[in-house]
Structure 1
Amino acid sequence: MSRICDLTGKATMVGNRVSHSNVKTKRRFYPNLHLKRFYIPEEDRWITLKVSTSAIKTINKIGITEAINRFVEKGSI
């Protein structure tokens, strides 16, 4: 399974780990993803999404249907 948010499209970033002696080695920054089930009352069914915590906050604020519509409109899905 890929480490990409289903709604926002957040993915792994690459950067440097910098030691005390200023030696730089490659590392990865992983997004904070969770598998979460959401109930869609319009369709009367549950869906499971792998979403970031920021997407969960957005869903809690505006609702799952509105969040999906916004992200589809924005083009990240």
Structure 2
Amino acid sequence: MSKVCQITGKKVMVGNNVSHSNRKTKRKFFVNLFTKKLYLPEEDRWISLKVSAAGLRIINKNGLAAALKNAQQKGYITNF
């Protein structure tokens, strides 16, 4: 599966390594992803998500059901 957060939609970014002599080579900035099993009490089941650290903070702040609904509206997840 790709390295994309299912709550925030964050994905790998591309940039440059810049040396002391100012030479530039391509590099990737990876997302801080975790595979987490979270309990959804509305449906009385566990779901498995690939979530970034920022996504976990959003889940803690807004609640899992609200975060899933928002992510589904934005098109980050199709079904959960």
Secondary structure of the residue aligned to 1:57 is: helix
Contact kept, 8 Å, 2:33 with 2:53, in 1: the verdict is yes
Which residue of the partner structure matches residue 45 of structure 1? 45
- 1:55 equivalent in structure 2: 55
Indicate the larger mover: 24-33 or 6-15.
Answer: 6-15
Distance 1:48 1:13 in 2: 24
Q: Offset of 1:64 from its aligned partner? A: 0.4
1:34-72 per-position Cα deviation (integer Å, ceiling 9, x unaligned): 111110011110001010111100101111001111122
Percent of paired sites with the same residue: 56
CA distance in 1, matches of 2:28, 2:74: 27
Does the residue aligned with 2:9 lie in a helix, a strand or coil? coil
3-state SS of paired residue (2:55): helix
Question: Do the aligned residues in 1 keep the contact of 2:6 with 2:71 (CA within 8 Å)?
Answer: no
1:6 aligns with 6
**Count of residues in Structure 1 that have an aligned counterpart in Structure 2:** 77
For structure 2, the 5+ residue unaligned runs are: none
State the TM-score, normalized to the length of structure 1.
0.92
Q: Look up the equivalent residue of 2:21 and give its one-letter code.
A: S
C-alpha distance in structure 2 between counterparts of 1:26 and 1:63, whole Å: 38
